[in-house]
Amino acid sequence: MSKLAWIIFAVVAAGILTLLIVLSPRDKIDVSSINTNEVQSASTDNGNIADHVFGKVGSPVTLIEYGDFQCPGCGSAYPRVKAISEEYKDQLQFVFRNFPLTSIHPNAKAAAGAAEAAGLQGKYWEMHDLIYQSQTSWSLLTDKERTDAFNGYARQLGLDISKFDSDISSTAVTKKITFDQTIGKKAGVDSTPTFYLNGVKLDQATWADDTAFKAAIDAELTKAGIALPKTDSTKE
């Protein structure tokens, strides 16, 4: 091979190597050391957006939901989960993690982004609730219509629309959604909604039934030595 040929070969090889480095998954998240059953603090991996916790922060009893905002099953479960998390807010901590199934729910990731963007203005749970409550209104919208709908919810919550628009597709929000999905896959999530109560995956027969759902939670609270919430029959 001539000197010129070697030079051309070296240049091409260097170019290919550079391209491979640029295209390599440098930002791939390593979750091998993460305990998915624990509340996740803010870190570079999740865009410095910690888990969203409703209820008694630090409780030894943790209920985690991996959900998809466009998922009909998640929408059907929402009223039950909302009522139970409210009823047990002084006893357990409820965590919601994003698990958008984008192959079948094209608006799910944008909805997750809207909730996370609202969270950056201190309104995560308000947007979370509003998105689920209005699920049938935005699920089948086009991209532009969907954006207008989410902006409308943001205005309803009194958010800074300029910041909301900027945050919804920001690197931080994208990393948070990706992080949630990654640890969800590690936990064994393959459908939504999926619930874990102190690390134990609940079957649908449990989370889809109020009595069974509460019985499972009560058992964990009793095990942890936490008094159960008073019902109407036990209140003085």
Strands 93-98 and 200-201: unpaired
pLDDT in tens, the chain (236 residues): 555 444 444 433 433 333 333 333 445 789 999 999 999 999 999 999 999 999 999 999 999 999 999 999 999 999 999 999 999 999 999 999 999 999 999 999 999 999 999 999 999 999 999 999 999 999 999 999 999 999 999 999 999 999 999 999 999 999 999 999 999 999 999 999 999 999 999 999 999 999 999 999 999 999 999 999 987 655 54
Give the residue ranges of DSSP H helices in 34-159.
72-87, 108-119, 124-133, 135-138, 143-156
Q: Can you list the domains of the chain with their CATH numbers?
A: 49-223 (3.40.30.10)
In whole angstroms, give the CA distance from residue 26 to residue 20. 11
Torsion angle defined by CA atoms of residues 211, 124, 63 and 73, in that order, rounded to the nearest 10 degrees: 50
* Cβ atoms of residues 118 and 159 within 8 Å: yes
Report the candidate in 95, 51, 90 with the shortest Cα–Cα distance to residue 197: 95
Residue 120: name the closest of 168, 60, 156 by CA. 168
Do you find a cis peptide bond into 193, omega within 30 degrees of 0? yes
Provide the 3-class DSSP secondary structure of residue 189. Answer: coil
Please give the structure tokens belonging to residue 235: 């209140």
Neighbours of 79 (CB within 10 A): 11
Please check whether residue 120 is in contact with residue 176, taking contact to mean a CB–CB distance below 8 angstroms: no
C-alpha to C-alpha distance for 68 and 153, rounded to whole angstroms? 18
Q: Which of 170, 168, 57 is nearest to 116 (CA)?
A: 168
195 conformational bin, left if phi > 0, alpha if psi -120 to 50, beta if neither: beta
> Global pTM?
0.87
